[in-house]
């Protein structure tokens, strides 16, 4: 008998199992699931709402509470000690939480430990929940099966039937960009907050929020155009806003150079024509903040040197990558044209069913 499996994302489709018929969740599942959700929510409030930069991580505690609590609730049907342990642990936490909040360990350390446990739990699910493989794609192998499974699941997260390989690659890249923004921006906000730059820290947190919105748009609609545009707009504007708040090229460390990622990524998502417009917007942005620095009376030589270096390096990098993509597309187009010409000649010589069979046999591994 073939074992039934579920996909990685369908695992997260129902945080509350059905309670009709035979259900391990109905009893004693509620006695386990609800305390775990409450425990995780309170822990997230305790750790995240003390520092502004930790706010985006609060969602992690809700997700862990919902799904880890659900799994514990199912296992509790077969092991009553899990029920007693969860209820007892929740009571102990509620009793000692106020004292820990005052004299306990640093929230940063606790958040790092809890985040690491959440990642380990996601890897555990990635390992033990089977993935419905796409038979149209060749299998990939690495020396680290867990990492490969995780990459495959990310690769399948936003794909649709009929997506070409370039479209799949663009969606995977957009997922990595959005997740990186969600994870890295809070740390930047933390650093800016320490430097007493709350408005710049808010800009970094806004970037994390926009990255989350872009990721949700991609996963829900499975179309990358709007999500990519939103992500690249945030990537273009956020470094400039932080530069503006920090007071110039020197004090900001040339952070506006990060905005160059927007036109470079636009080469991948939107093609060379639209990417040129994105690069033009980047150039105008650099000129605008340069004019503002001059207006503030900062050292002219320093401003000009920063602006020249950023614009020259950015222009050379963009032109080189654009030339590479244009030539790659030209060669790919020539290959596809020759392939279509060969297939047309083959159809003129052989009947269509035989030609199709020969083509399939040639493409088979």
Does the pLDDT value for residue 238 go beyond 90?
yes
The residue behind tokens 């187009």 is 333
Residue 337: cis peptide before it, omega within 30 degrees of 0: no
Highest mean pLDDT among 53-67, 82-96, 152-166, 189-203: 189-203
pLDDT score at 94 = 67
What count of Cα atoms within 13 Å lies in the side-chain half-sphere of residue 204? 28
pLDDT score at 189 = 86
* pLDDT tens profile 342-365: 777 766 776 767 666 666 655 544
Highest mean pLDDT among 77-81, 219-223, 224-228: 224-228
The two structure tokens encoding residue 268: 């991948």
pLDDT exceeding 70 applies to what percent of the chain? 64
Whole-angstrom distance, CA of residue 48 vs CA of residue 251 = 29
Does the pLDDT value for residue 149 go beyond 50?
yes
* pLDDT tens profile 307-343: 999 999 999 999 998 998 888 888 888 887 787 777 7
**DSSP for residue 133:** -
pLDDT score at 198 = 87
What string of H, E and C letters represents the secondary structure of 178-203? HHHHHHHHHHHHHHHHHCCCHHHHHH
Residue scoring higher pLDDT (180 or 236): 236
Question: Residue 326: CB partners within 8 Å, gap ≥ 6?
Answer: 272
Contacts of range 291-298, beta carbons closer than 8 Å, 24 or more positions apart: 292/244, 293/248, 293/249, 296/247, 296/248, 298/248, 298/250
pLDDT exceeding 90 applies to what percent of the chain? 19
Is the CB of residue 49 less than 8 Å from the CB of residue 55?
Answer: yes
Residue scoring higher pLDDT (12 or 301): 301
């Amino acid at each position: 008998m073939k074992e039934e499996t579920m996909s990685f994302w369908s695992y997260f489709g129902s945080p509350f199992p059905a309670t009709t018929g035979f259900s391990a969740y109905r009893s004693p599942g509620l006695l386990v699931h609800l305390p775990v959700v409450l425990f995780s929510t309170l822990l997230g409030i305790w750790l995240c709402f003390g520092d502004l930069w930790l706010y985006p991580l609060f969602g992690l505690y809700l997700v862990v509470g919902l799904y880890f609590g659900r799994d514990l609730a199912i296992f509790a049907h077969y092991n009553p000690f899990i029920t007693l342990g969860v209820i007892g642990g929740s009571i102990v936490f509620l009793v000692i939480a106020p004292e820990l909040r005052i004299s306990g360990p640093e929230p940063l350390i606790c958040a790092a430990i809890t985040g690491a446990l959440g990642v380990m739990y996601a890897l555990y699910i990635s390992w033990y929940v089977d993935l419905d493989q796409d038979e149209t794609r060749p299998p990939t192998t690495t020396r680290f099966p867990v990492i490969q499974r995780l990459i495959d699941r990310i690769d399948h997260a936003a794909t649709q039937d009929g997506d070409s390989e370039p479209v799949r690659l663009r969606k995977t890249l957009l997922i990595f960009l959005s997740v990186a923004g969600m994870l890295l921006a809070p740390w930047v906000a933390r650093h800016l907050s320490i430097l007493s730059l709350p408005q710049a820290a808010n800009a970094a947190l806004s970037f994390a929020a926009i990255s989350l919105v872009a990721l949700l748009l991609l996963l829900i609609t499975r179309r990358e155009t709007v999500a990519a545009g939103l992500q690249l707009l945030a990537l273009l504007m956020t470094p400039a806003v932080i530069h503006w708040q920090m007071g110039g090229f020197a004090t900001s460390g040339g952070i506006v150079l990060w905005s160059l990622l927007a036109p470079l990524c636009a080469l991948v998502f939107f093609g060379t024509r639209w990417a040129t417009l994105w690069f033009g917007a980047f150039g105008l942005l650099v000129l605008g903040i340069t004019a503002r620095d001059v207006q503030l009376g900062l050292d002219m030589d320093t401003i000009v040197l920063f602006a020249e270096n950023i614009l020259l390096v950015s222009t050379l990098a963009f032109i080189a990558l654009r030339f590479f993509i244009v030539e790659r597309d030209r060669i790919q187009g020539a290959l596809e044209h020759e392939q279509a010409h060969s297939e047309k000649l083959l159809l003129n010589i052989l009947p269509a069913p035989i030609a199709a069979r020969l083509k399939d046999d040639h493409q088979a591994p």
